[in-house]
Structure 1
Amino acid sequence: MSQKLNGKKVAILATDGFEESELSEPRAALERFGATVHVIAPGKDSIRAWAGSDWGKPHDVDERLEEVKADDYDALVLPGGLFNPDALRQNEQALAFTRQFFVAHKPVGAICHGPWVLINAGVAKGRRMTSYPSVEQDLRNAGAEWVNREVVVDSGLVTSRKPDDLEAFCAKLIEEIGEGKHSRQHA
């Protein structure tokens, strides 16, 4: 087990309807490299994944969004799924929490539909990103440059398209968190 991320604390912001693998695989990879990982959700003690065509198993929430500050974390991960980011992008507290990572130049990872949260947080403009194909036009409309690659890194922002890209997504996420803060102004 590598200790590359010892002392790093990572927030995974999610709510009901996240893609199971897009939360569990990054969490496991980050923990394998020594990071402390907290699943954070607005107003809930547990959240449920969407697994194929039905609700999956519940996952415990480590911290409620209302009780945490971005200053307490070194990085943020936004899993996809359809329902999860759609709900979070309508939650002003989730958007403010997300923006704070960009203002502080901290690494952020978003996969699948996760970039919807970045669009509504107003941090996608001028960024080179990827996402699930159906989010492409939304990103372009928000001023991002969309590319069709398994993983794209833009000054600490790591994006990927879908669960098939998780290996590359996790590797780049670990690399960016290991580097720490980035000099480019995100927002």
Structure 2
Amino acid sequence: MSYYTKVRTYLNSPVKCFIPKCNARCCVDAPLPEGFLDQHKGRIQRRIYGAVNIGQNDPRDTFNSIIYNTTPSPVQLMGFDQNGNKMLGIPKEVIKELNIKSMEQIQELLNDYGRYKNYCPFITTYGKCSVYNHRPIICREFGSSPLKIDYCPQKSSRLDIIKFCVKEFFNFKKNFKAMGHALKMKFAKNNTDT
């Protein structure tokens, strides 16, 4: 392996979550500890249509975790099977309300469900976390603990972080110049008026 290849690999390998570039793709079906929603009610960013207590049946879950449904679809997440696959369902009231009479209609709703992602209630429309400084342990661990198998494909490389910082620097400098020019024009106008 040549020196150039080593440097390129070092710069391009994903290293960490970089908050300014995060699009919150990992915050889908996020299990939040029981009571977390009540503690941070003022920071909720998305409407909640229902909830599933997944910690109830899992002895490994010491937080009694709850997944909140934030999708506007009548199909709701009901839980997970033993293989970790989603179990979806439609509440009886919704079936009556929508006047569903055939399996084709249900299949159409299930296909439509795939269009929506069940984001965490605290994720803004821009993909930022409104409780970032107070986020639960599962959110802090994701992508950073070497024991976890979760791997975020959106992690930024060193090169991505450098590019972002340089771009932000030049954007700031350009905006700063524009503000300086506007102030000069304002002072020049004020001086000619007097």
> Which bracket does the TM-score occupy, shorter chain normalised?
under 0.3
TM score, norm. by length of structure 2: 0.25
Which one has the bigger strand percentage? 1
Structure with the bigger RCO (C-alpha within 8 Å, sep 6+) is 2
TM score, norm. by length of structure 1: 0.25
Larger Rg: 2
Which one has the bigger helix percentage? 2
